Structure 1
């Protein structure tokens, strides 16, 4: 049964615990941990995957871009629950790769959990949420370009992780940081590709 997470570390622990009984871990299994009622954990998980070494696994960045776009559009449309197609839910990676990425993320998660707190909540409510969803849609659409620029997908993953944390913790300062990272990433992509 999905639950409310009190921190990023707890989310990582729950994902790791859920995948102990199979050799491959599907997106459906991860979603069963985070639940379908809230968009914030989806952004958080997509961001964590792109920020982690998993972004180097062929096909992962593309699958995450599709997931991100689907989630962001549904958030913009005001849907109460997340809908995802079965073919995307069936995508999987090896348990070994996932657990390695989760362990790699553990230290940054501990640092984040000590720092985040509710503040500037007008940036993560109503119009702020729409701005975040629009920005996430643009990141998803730019993901194919990021395949051409080293570390850009990782930087996008960092921004998405921070957006997810901002929504989970109602921390508008984190949203501002994520908007700034996205703007810098846009400048980097424009400078490199033009």
Structure 2
């Protein structure tokens, strides 16, 4: 392992995401994020992208984070050892001042959760479990990118839990991710049911008018 990767692995996750905001370069590229986390790989990258996606962004901004999460989750599901992303994805960037502002808002929570997680329930973080987790994360990232009112929060939270579980090998975090995924599914069902009933009512009202 290169020395820089070894040093990255020794640093706390919270320290790495803070250091990424200190550069003078006005743009933070995804390529820089991948390099910063070194051998921590999929869990760390999905975690930081999911945390950033939970922040308010202009319409369509969530897709900037959803696309690389989908690609990395697929690689995780197919048991790749290291992250690979196409050049166009690695060149995707956000404003570093916006990154610093967002990180400052979540850092206290990140450090608190970081201190709570530890390796446990190993069968939930093994190779087979990683495949299942990766496929679920693909679905969650797709949902997060949809223009559903408040529909990005629940999948984003579920992704954060799954990513923490993968990074820290913490089965409790994986279970919390599964619980958040269930809540996300229930929310989508209620949204679909509401839209269906409204459409039916509008259809019946129009039928009575033009009958």
TM-score scaled by length of structure 2:
0.81
Equivalent residue number for residue 179 of structure 2? 180
Q: Which one has the largest radius of gyration? A: 2
Q: Bigger relative contact order, structure 1 or 2, given CA contacts below 8 A and separation 6+? A: 1
Q: How far has the Cα of 1:52 moved from its partner?
A: 2.8
What do residues 104-141 of structure 1 show as CA deviations (whole Å, max 9, x unaligned)?
A: 11111121022111111210112211121011011122
Q: How far has the Cα of 1:4 moved from its partner?
A: 1.1
Counterpart-to-counterpart distance in 2, 1:186 and 1:127? 23
Q: How far has the Cα of 1:37 moved from its partner?
A: 6.3
Equivalent residue number for residue 148 of structure 1? 148
Counterpart-to-counterpart distance in 2, 1:36 and 1:153? 28
Equivalent residue number for residue 96 of structure 2? 95
| Closer, same or farther: CA 166–128 of 1 in aligned 2, 3 Å | same
Query: Does structure 1 conserve the Cα–Cα contact (< 8 Å) formed by 2:73 and 2:138?
Result: yes
Counterpart-to-counterpart distance in 1, 2:115 and 2:39? 26
Superposition pairs for residues 25-44 of structure 1, below 5 Å? Answer: 25-35=28-38, 38-44=41-47
Counterpart-to-counterpart distance in 1, 2:13 and 2:54? 14
Where does the alignment leave 5 or more consecutive residues of structure 2 unmatched? 194-211
Equivalent residue number for residue 197 of structure 2? none
User: How many pairs were matched up?
Assistant: 188
Equivalent residue number for residue 128 of structure 1? 129
SS at 2:81 equivalent: coil
Q: How large is the Cα RMSD of the aligned pairs?
A: 1.8
Counterpart-to-counterpart distance in 2, 1:108 and 1:10? 13
The answer on 1:67 being equivalent to 2:68 is yes
TM-score scaled by length of structure 1:
0.88
